[in-house]
Amino acid sequence: MEDIKVAREILNYLTEGYPLEELNFRLWDGSVVGNKNAKTTIVISYPWTLRELFLRPSELKFAEGYIYNHYDIVGHIYNIFPFADFLRRKH
């Protein structure tokens, strides 16, 4: 359960200041961070996925993570692009 708590803290930090009306995150235990009625869900499949994606982010890591099902995008994929731009500006 400690992994869930840490993942929630990381996601809350990453999304601070971003309106989560259209986007949420579902963790490997089924819990949701963000609007449960969002049109797009980023499914985090494993406890270590966030560390892999954000410790040293790269396009290759994001592509490999998607291919190997470390995360998935359910719903309208276009809703993740404004969030990606937000993260780029924030960090």
Average pLDDT over residues 75-86: 91
pLDDT class for 91, splitting at 50, 70, 90?
A: low
Strand-pairing partners, residue 23, are: 40
Mean pLDDT on 60-79? 92
Give the residue ranges of DSSP H helices in the chain.
Answer: 2-15, 49-54, 59-67, 80-90
CA-wise closest residue to 20 among 80, 72, 78 = 80
Least confident of 2-6, 7-11, 53-57, 58-62: 53-57
pTM, rounded to two decimals:
0.88
- H or E, element range at 71: strand 71-75
**What number of other Cβ atoms are within 10 A of residue 49's Cβ?**
20
Cα separation of 66 and 16, whole Å?
A: 24
Average pLDDT (37-65) is: 89
